[in-house]
Amino acid sequence: MFFMQPGRQPGFFSWCAFRARHPRALRSLQSTLAPQNMNAMTHSFVRRALTAVMLLTPVLAAQAQTQTPAAWPNKPLRIIVGFPGGSTPDLTARAIAEPLSKALGQPVIVENKVGAGGNIAADQVAKATDSHTLGLMINGNMTIAKILNPKVPYDPLKDLVPISLIGTAPLVLSAPASIQGSAQDVLAQARQAGNQWSYGSPGVGTVAHLGMELLKARAGIAPVHVPYPGNPQIITAMLGGQIQLALLPPALITAQLKGGKLRAVGITSTGRSTLTPDVPSLLEAGVKNFQMEIFNAMAAPASMPAAHIKQLSILISEIVRAPEMRAKLFHQGWQVVGSSPEGLANRIASDTAALGDIIRSQKIEQP
């Protein structure tokens, strides 16, 4: 064992490993080191150099192990929601958090950062650099935030990365039960009332806001916009008589509809929805060229590694498509999609174009 040095066991074991794994290289080295092929000085130099390499092998292996990427996630994840507790994005985030936590082996915490129609939360997600922050967002936060207000501190198309389109839903044009008549009758009353009526939305630039502005143009009505932190506050205001109209997610008003406190005037899809099969579309009520749909989606900051995005997309798609979760989200008012990042990116592109057209045509600006 001409490479073994007295008292240097690591060199011996490294040489054994080298000999077992590289027999051809060994034969070549032995031939090169043969006395007839080398002078004494060269032989001694090469032998010392190879001995040093063998001694370094354990050190290099240890360094390689320390440089292996750490398992992810290695701490709790956050899902930031831009709307208050009880809102549809909040309910969806909390429904997903538990199974996602089990799948990842880390706690998943839902945080509500309310304000600016969800843009405050979206900005916080966009600026996160810890690879453990996600956002549960609606259409506007991921599409037209910058179109509506160039001063918004994040660019949804550059600073956010799509993970999965979770679900879609039409909205229901809702009114207090005291406003009677068919959909045509309600719209006729709204025309007569002019700006004496008002409508609520979860904020400027939300789909409910843009949808009502489009409805005003299509139906010839003029209610005044009143923004609220979220849909629960809109429902409270409507029950209290402060507003007369709002576009609301179907599931949020089910109890009030059954209790006779609110009424569903019409739905924003082109036809009747399985979510609200008894409610006519506004198209049936004579409102032409009108369609509006909301979505819930999971996004991450652009700083998050692509491997984590792929892992999260696969897990979230599997979670929301599971029969029990699909039923739960349907009860919340969602038609489950569970798309890939590419599927959500396509939806973002189409919604950016459609909602951007409404902003420009109706001359909507952030106050």
> Would you kindly state where each structural domain of the chain is located, as residue ranges?
9-66, 77-168+296-361, 172-291
Beta bridge mates, 79: 110, 134
- What kind of fold does domain 172-291 have according to CATH? D-Maltodextrin-Binding Protein; domain 2 (3.40.190)
pLDDT recorded at residue 342: 97
**Other CB atoms within 10 A of residue 280 CB:** 16
Residue 186 banded pLDDT, cuts 50, 70, 90:
very high
Decide whether 77-168+296-361 matches 172-291 in CATH topology.
Answer: yes
- What kind of fold does domain 77-168+296-361 have according to CATH? D-Maltodextrin-Binding Protein; domain 2 (3.40.190)
Q: Lowest-pLDDT range, 28-32, 129-133, 220-224, 317-321?
A: 28-32
Mean pLDDT of 167-181: 95
Contacts of 351 (CB under 8 A, 6+ apart): 139, 142, 143, 144, 295
Helix axes 183-193, 207-219, angle to 10 degrees: 80
* pLDDT over 80 at 41, yes or no: no
pLDDT recorded at residue 153: 96
* pLDDT over 60 at 216, yes or no: yes
Mean model confidence pLDDT for the chain:
86
pLDDT recorded at residue 14: 44
Each residue of 311-348: pLDDT tens digit? 999 999 999 999 999 999 998 889 999 999 999 999 99
* pLDDT over 60 at 138, yes or no: yes
